[in-house]
Structure 1
Amino acid sequence: MTVIPEKTALRKRLRGLRRALAAATPNAAERAAERLPLDRLPEFNSFSGYVAQGAEIDPLPLMLRLAELGAAPALPTAVSRDLPLEFRLWDSRTPLEPDAFGIPAPPAWADVVEPDLVICPLLAFDRRGGRLGQGAGHYDRTLANLRATKPVCVLGLAYAGQELDEIPMEPHDQPLDAILTETEFVLVAKEAR
């Protein structure tokens, strides 16, 4: 079996699992935010979260905790279906607008930043930093571009039950540096990738 069909089959199964996990652990987002050991993260001045879609674990409690440290919060924005995401500064008082995918995002006039810390949604993860996303490759392209310009820490936010033994990885897949769930924080060893 090639990697692509394997990932496609995994995604179908894991979307259902994620819905079940979201229903079974309604306070997972708050528990994850409380669990993050801030002293184990590299220094950051700005960070990006995301607007949770469907059963994705909500990063808002974590984003609020990080913003209390004085770091500038941003949200990813799809300006086109074919381009990497851009990160726009987020102010909770400013209404969000649909981006190219219809996902709420900061308006076009919001400042664009290159965050030092990116909180990523996912369908599954493994302890070597493997991440299975939705399949369009937007985060992989975006993270590759960002990592080409500066060091960036990529934090996968997930339900503990989304862990797999191994994620099938392709050369373009961008690994996670750490994973945060409602039960633990996992710092990925560079040699594990």
Structure 2
Amino acid sequence: MNQTKPSIAWGASRSEADLAQDKTVLREQLLAVRKALTGDIRDAACRAIGQHLLNWQTGSKVATLAVYWPIRGEPDLTDAYWQLAQRGVQLALPVVSGPATPLTFAAWAPGQAMMTDAFGVPIPTDLSRLLVPDAIAIPCVGISAQRYRLGYGGGMYDRTLALLPAVQTIGIAFDCARSNFAAAAHDVRLQSLITESGIEADH
């Protein structure tokens, strides 16, 4: 797949307000590029990312993994979720409690009943079992060479990861999400990245 590299570049000396504005522009560009991935190209990329996630789990041996339900053109890894569940991995989905609160993670298995929350995101119907996962697979709108993530701008994962320093973090993205932007003070560097090209991780 051809990689799209947005031409916008940012310097670390820019103010937080300027960085936020720059990221708003970049976010819109990257979402448009991601939305343009269709048909066989998207399907092949999702299959490759899913297989890399399975390979990552084989090596990591994590017992509980927080995943995500794909929205807004995010890589669809639901086939891989079934395989992870068959391996005995306990999956969980993120639950948003409010616009400025950390995420919680509800235990979930493929095939269980789902509902849509107030933000339009599918979540498990049963929210009675919350857990702290061993690792979190985090969808990325953009990802820098240093493995800082650009999300949707709400800061929910940033707030969550700040409270869970021991949890492993895996960014999930298409290669076209690779971009160049300066990290803000609150950004958390991801330990691993999975795209259709493979797995990048700290050693």
Where in structure 2 are the equivalents of 1:1-193 lying within 5 Å? 2-23=18-39, 24-36=41-53, 37-38=55-56, 41-147=59-165, 151-164=166-179, 166-188=180-202
Indicate the structure whose relative CO is greater, using CA pairs within 8 Å and at least 6 residues apart.
Answer: 2
Q: How far 1:68 sits from its partner (Å)?
A: 3.1
Gapped regions of structure 2 (runs ≥ 5): 1-13
Compute the TM-score of the two structures, normalised by the length of structure 2: 0.82
Q: Secondary structure at the match of 2:70?
A: coil
- Provide the C-alpha distance between the structure 1 equivalents of 2:27 and 2:144, rounded to a whole number of angstroms: 14
- Measured on the aligned residues, the alpha-carbon RMSD in Å equals 2.0
More displaced stretch, 170-179 vs 28-37: 28-37
Percent identity between matched residues is 28
* CA distance 1:57–1:81, change in 2 (3 Å): same
The list of structure 1 runs, each at least 4 consecutive aligned residues, that deviate by more than 6 angstroms after superposition, is: none
Gapped regions of structure 1 (runs ≥ 5): none
8 Å CA contact 1:80, 1:100 repeated in 2? no
More displaced stretch, 40-49 vs 7-16: 40-49
Give per-residue Cα distances to partners, 1:54-81, cap 9 Å, x unaligned: 2111131332333233220000011222
* CA distance 1:188–1:20, change in 2 (3 Å): farther
Letter in 2 for 1:35: H
**Which entry has the higher C-alpha Rg, 1 or 2?**
2
* CA distance 1:91–1:63, change in 2 (3 Å): closer
Letter in 1 for 2:171: G
Q: State how many pairs are aligned.
A: 185
Compute the TM-score of the two structures, normalised by the length of structure 1: 0.86
